[in-house]
Amino acid sequence: MIQKERISIFNDKEIKSGEYVLYWMQSSHRTHYNHALEYSILKANELQKPLIVYFGITDNFPEANRRHYYFMLEGLKNVKASLEERNIKIVILNKIPPIGAIELPKNASLTIVDAGYLKIEREWRKKVSEGIKCPFIQIETDVVVPVVIASQKEEYSAATLRKKIKKVLDKFLIPLKSINLEISSENLNFESVDIENIDRLIKSLNIDESVVESDYFHGGTHEALKHFQNFLDNKLEGYERFKNDPNRDHPSNMSPYLHFGQISPLFMALEVLKSNSPGKESFLEELIIRRELSMNFVYYNSNYDSFLALPDWAKKTLLEHKKDKREPIYSLRELEKAETGDPYWNASQKEMMTTGKMHGYMRMYWGKKILEWIKSPEEAFKIALYLNNKYEIDGRDPNAFTGVAWCFGKHDRAWKEREIFGKVRYMNANGLKRKFDADAYIKKVNKLS
């Protein structure tokens, strides 16, 4: 049973006597614990129709490059194999996703889509809802608590959202049951892109290949579940104590998989809740409160990808200190090549460039130093977002935009005023050294690269 709060009806069209039900898989690249897929199967069974899953590959998703596409396509191979086991056909087209989602439903009884929170994703859904002749229904499956149920406005901080989520959380911590499709779609014929040879497919796409795929993280639900089980078995117990030490291997490494919807946050939460480990509450705070605060941010603040998204106090104080002397000042090229005079910052940049993921604590330090080294806070914001989105596998999503904005004061409070930063929280290398062995972190990264 899919809770009604996860369901949004986007138009008032009547169900057609079509040939199939269509699920446009856009944000949730998985068959495991996917409310949108299960709802689609439920509707297909009710109508006694087969189910088609559609995925559109666009060559020009903003800021995406080979690293992101490779990880995504590895995941799609998982999806295809898993759907075939359930007698469901997937149709993959090299089209701008909403165009395919408008063309395919011409013979569909109704169309279902998973939820997306970025501006481009919401624009796509609006375009499809206006362009198709059958019902268009969205199902939220990449959050534990649906965004508008958690809050109907942009929240100031984790503290304000936490209170609201905790009031309704138990209602949504409900296991999702898998449903069998009654009428196979395997006999339906559609042209579809061959995704078995990812390198060959990527060569056929007109994409930025300047950033190569990661050797450290591979896409797909199988990989996600493997990393997550390792976290449960070996890291959760010490998560609260060691999560801010990049020399300790205690991150869950789930953010790339959550970014592409290759694992369900609800499934993760339910599994963690079974544990008695002392790190349980700390991890659930990150997975539910902090992560869903980022969804709240991009959903309610259309300026989420710019300096304008910052709270008034942060913009005011940073602009008041805009003309403060900055020394040294680095160019984008020097930053991108990790050629600053700060070995700890260079190590964090190298970690991101090499693996596709930077340790969370180092990412805070990394962003703060960019603010310190660039002539204006507006330009610093742009550069931090550019570098993060270019190299991080989990870049370009609500958590990425929120993480960068946090470095500039978002979801934080005013601190003691100082040069350049004004009242925005300051971090320096001495703070790193008090937390952990910062020189050991440099050695660790140098071994990677």
Residue 26: give its domain's CATH number.
Answer: 3.40.50.620
Instruction: For residues 292 and 409, state if they share a domain.
Output: no
Instruction: For residues 132 and 147, state if they share a domain.
Output: no
List the domain range (segments joined by +) for residue 38: 1-142
Phi and psi at residue 23, to the nearest 5°: -110, 115
Instruction: For residues 83 and 104, state if they share a domain.
Output: yes
pLDDT at 268: 98
Handedness of CA 234, 239, 241, 243 (dihedral sign): positive
Residues 6+ away with beta carbon under 8 Å from 384:
366, 367, 370, 371, 404, 407
Strands of the sheet with 89-93, listed across from one edge:
7-9, 136-139, 108-114, 20-24, 51-56, 89-93
- Cis status of the peptide bond prior to 328, with omega within 30 of 0: yes
Phi and psi at residue 204, to the nearest 5°: -80, -10
pTM (whole model) above 0.95: yes
pLDDT tens string for the chain (449 positions)?
799 999 999 999 999 999 999 999 999 999 999 999 999 999 999 999 999 999 999 999 999 999 999 999 999 999 999 999 999 999 999 999 999 999 999 999 999 999 999 999 999 999 999 999 999 999 999 999 999 999 999 999 999 999 999 999 999 999 999 999 999 998 899 999 999 999 999 999 999 999 999 999 999 999 999 999 999 999 999 999 999 999 998 999 999 999 999 999 999 999 999 999 999 999 999 999 999 999 999 999 999 999 999 999 999 999 999 999 999 999 999 999 999 999 999 999 999 999 999 999 999 999 999 999 999 999 999 999 999 999 999 999 999 999 999 999 999 999 999 999 999 999 999 999 999 999 999 999 999 96
The 8-class DSSP code of residue 225 comes to H
Of 161, 175, 121, 117, nearest in space to 142 by CA: 117
- Evaluate whether residue 96 is within a structural domain: yes
Instruction: For residues 269 and 380, state if they share a domain.
Output: no
Instruction: For residues 147 and 292, state if they share a domain.
Output: yes
Strand partners, 281: none
CATH of the domain at 410: 1.10.579.10
Handedness of CA 140, 142, 144, 147 (dihedral sign): negative
Does residue 6 contact residue 35 with C-beta atoms inside 8 Å? Answer: yes
Q: How far is CA 253 from the centre of its chain?
A: 12
Instruction: For residues 237 and 278, state if they share a domain.
Output: yes
- Evaluate whether residue 169 is within a structural domain: yes
Instruction: For residues 268 and 315, state if they share a domain.
Output: no
CATH of the domain at 290: 1.25.40.80
Instruction: For residues 286 and 364, state if they share a domain.
Output: no
The 8-class DSSP code of residue 303 comes to T
pLDDT at 449: 66
Question: Can you tell me the distance from the alpha carbon of 356 to that of 400, in angstroms, rounded to the nearest whole number?
Answer: 13
Instruction: For residues 62 and 121, state if they share a domain.
Output: yes
The DSSP line for 48-101 is T--EEEEEE--TT-TT-BHHHHHHHHHHHHHHHHHHHHTT-EEEEESS-HHHHH
243, 276, 300 - which closes a domain: 300
Of 31, 26, 33, nearest in space to 88 by CA: 31
Does residue 261 contact residue 142 with C-beta atoms inside 8 Å? Answer: yes
Does residue 373 contact residue 272 with C-beta atoms inside 8 Å? Answer: no
Question: Can you tell me the distance from the alpha carbon of 61 to that of 68, in angstroms, rounded to the nearest whole number?
Answer: 10
- Evaluate whether residue 201 is within a structural domain: no
- Evaluate whether residue 409 is within a structural domain: yes
Two tokens at 415?
């601190």
- Evaluate whether residue 196 is within a structural domain: no
CA dihedral 296→297→301→306, nearest 10 degrees, is -160
CA dihedral 270→271→273→274, nearest 10 degrees, is 130
277, 300, 323 - which closes a domain: 300
- Evaluate whether residue 204 is within a structural domain: no
Task: List C-alpha distances in Å: 1 to 82, 212, 266.
Answer: 21, 41, 15
300, 332, 357 - which closes a domain: 300
pLDDT at 246: 97
Burial class (CB in 10 A: 0-12, 13-18, 19+), 88: buried
Does residue 347 contact residue 443 with C-beta atoms inside 8 Å? Answer: no
Instruction: For residues 228 and 245, state if they share a domain.
Output: yes
Instruction: For residues 418 and 315, state if they share a domain.
Output: yes
Question: Can you tell me the distance from the alpha carbon of 206 to that of 194, in angstroms, rounded to the nearest whole number?
Answer: 16
The 8-class DSSP code of residue 287 comes to I
- Evaluate whether residue 424 is within a structural domain: yes
Instruction: For residues 160 and 135, state if they share a domain.
Output: no
3 state DSSP class of 174: coil
How many domains are there within the chain? Answer: 3
Question: Can you tell me the distance from the alpha carbon of 144 to that of 4, in angstroms, rounded to the nearest whole number?
Answer: 14
- Evaluate whether residue 69 is within a structural domain: yes
